[in-house]
């Protein structure tokens, strides 16, 4: 996707939706521990 032509913005009208998203580490690790996470193996 060409980020410069992306017209989708968050409420601040500056930040493009989906670009440079940061999440608190505790939320990330909590999400990784859920039973809904799938592991893909190359075996």
Domain residue ranges of the chain, discontinuous segments joined by +: 3-32
Counted residue by residue, the chain has a size of 43
SS percent in the chain: helix, strand, coil, step 5: 25, 5, 70
C-alpha distances out from residue 39 to 11, 23, 30, 32, 36, Å: 34, 21, 16, 10, 10
Planar angle of CA 30, 16, 24, nearest 5 degrees: 20
Beta-carbon contacts of residue 31 (< 8 Å; ≥ 6 apart): 37
Residue 41 structure tokens: 């193996």
Instruction: Say what the pLDDT of residue 17 is.
Output: 78
pTM: 0.36
pLDDT tens per residue across span 11-41 = 887 777 776 777 889 988 888 887 776 777 8
């Amino acid at each position: 996707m060409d980020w410069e032509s992306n017209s989708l913005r968050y409420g601040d009208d500056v930040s493009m939706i989906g670009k440079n998203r940061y999440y608190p580490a505790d939320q990330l690790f909590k999400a990784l521990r859920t039973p809904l996470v799938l592991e893909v193996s190359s075996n």
